[in-house]
Amino acid sequence: MSYTTGLLCAKKAIILGGSSGVGRAVAVAALAHGTSVVICSSSQQRVDAAVEMLGKGIEKIDGLSVKGHAFDIKDTTALKSLLSEEAPFDHLVITAGDTAAVTNFPEQEIDENAKNQFESRFWSVVIAAQHIHKNNLIRPGGWGVINGVVGAVESATRGLAVDLKPIRVNAIALGLVDTELYDKIPSKFKEPLFKSHSDKLLIDHVGTPEEVAEAYIFAMKCQYLTGQVIIVDGGGVLV
């Protein structure tokens, strides 16, 4: 076993939003590195399906496990209960609340759905951080990571890294990633959207969950990384 792979061996990660998309890809990668995972989603059906999929092939690996919980991440009582129940753990990954990118912000209506998505990202981070800190739920050297796409979450990353030291806190700022969420968009809109991004990006293609999951694994491994926003967007910020 290589040194870098061994850094995650026999660890435990809670992944909020781990039943699909980027969260599920992070769970797959974490398991491949020897980390047991607890995935969470608002849908029991999606949780059950993801646990079954993730569990295939690990039955014979001693100490490696997959568990799942279904609850609304905006339910602060349920969130705290989940964290307490699964403690101690080494890593907390929050990808819940992922939405398709806003492609026309000036005309985009800030409706209840948009507000709920912000709340599921921002307040879940703050509440989880407080609860973990007060109750010593995360092991020394562990970390929390946020899939942040709004400035408030990214700013919170830096503040939490200072307040929660030595717990490490980092954010992953993603560009366009081809997840199941975009399957809800009619193909006549999705195809030109993805093509325009592919033509513009420096790597000539839209990101996949498996590609961006590597950024989360890096942040989980790197003990010298905290308070940072890692941009994973195929060079989108440069063009």
Q: What is the pLDDT of residue 199?
A: 96
17 falls within a domain: yes
Question: What region, left, alpha or beta, does residue 154 occupy, with left being phi > 0 and alpha being psi -120 to 50 degrees?
Answer: alpha
Tens digit of pLDDT for each residue in 30-82?
999 999 999 999 999 999 999 999 999 787 788 899 999 999 888 889 999 99
Cα distance between residue 143 and residue 219, in whole Å: 8
- By CB atoms closer than 10 A (0-12, 13-18, 19+), residue 133 is middle
pLDDT at 24 over 90: yes
For 14, the domain range is 3-181+210-231
77 falls within a domain: yes
127 falls within a domain: yes
pLDDT at 223 over 70: yes
99 falls within a domain: yes
Q: What is the pLDDT of residue 145?
A: 74
pLDDT band at 157 (very low <50, low <70, confident <90, very high): confident
Q: What is the mean predicted confidence (pLDDT) over 4-25? A: 91
- Helix (H, G, I), strand (E, B), or coil: what is residue 24? helix
- First CA to last CA distance, the chain: 39
pLDDT band at 14 (very low <50, low <70, confident <90, very high): very high
52 falls within a domain: yes
Tell me the one-letter amino acid at 150.
V
47 falls within a domain: yes
Phi, psi of 183 (to 5 degrees): -70, -15
223 falls within a domain: yes
As for how many domains the chain has, the answer is 1
Q: What is the CATH number of the domain that holds 137?
A: 3.40.50.720
237 falls within a domain: no
Tokens of 150: 């709004």
pLDDT band at 4 (very low <50, low <70, confident <90, very high): low
Look up the pTM and report it: 0.89
Tens digit of pLDDT for each residue in 77-97?
999 999 999 999 999 999 876
